A and B are shown apart, each in its own frame.
Chain A
């Protein structure tokens, strides 16, 4: 699984190629693999590119530090203030 990638596509057609394992942090992205998205390797998401970028960044951030979460030795993740509310909604949607 580690060498497989999925392509996340935003509503304004930005594409992000993400490691499948990283994407699977989101239950929604993970579940989608049983469906058509699993076959095509492409997941169309109804969100803007800047939001999706932020989400992908977070997914990698989360993946990188997941083992250190216990020790608390994790740098802060910067959220652009103007996106904060929308990110909150998207995160709920993706179950992150």
Chain B
């Protein structure tokens, strides 16, 4: 039994944070909640970790109800909040030791679980947590969340504010943890990380847009996408948006992702149009859809 969420709704006074959310995370699955800031990810995490009470709906974690069996859940889950939430004035080792103690265990007892991660921060074990780099902080927070060998791990935006190299390492670690029979629910605003999950739920404005494997979500994207680039990015976007046949125009790194409303679209036609708009160095090439494209299409 993993995580079961059915029809969860939550409002803060006037604002509706979550609306009728349902999904299921299978045991040992790495499940991603993908959505922009303010989509309701943190609220959902707090409901599932028994910190908030939903207005409607039910949820169970490994069979325990989040409302009635909250004490059991608190023993068996690991939670890493979005904001770095360890004691900044304690050293790496003191933090780890403290969290081991409050979960009634010791560092030695579950060392094999955190070993891969801990060896990387061990050289700094006498440094105060507040003085660590972003990537180090996340590794320490993960160690602290894992120290009691949880059955389910909740990671709320674990890689926000972390450099790309550390982000990649972090996801490699999650994959390894999955091998050790831990169910993982992770949220992220980064679409590129979505592809690393077993299944993902795309969430926006408190509603789930779609739940599927990353591959399937990309496959369902029906349009043909073109990478467009030119000498002036800003003017390019404006020109494309003004084009009468445009379906969507999104900046994507050094390119603009463009889709057309017509099925018999001819790139040459667009090139001529752009040249008329006094743009030069124009290139238009077909490209693969990504999860970000799917998300943008669904969120439209």
A binds B: no
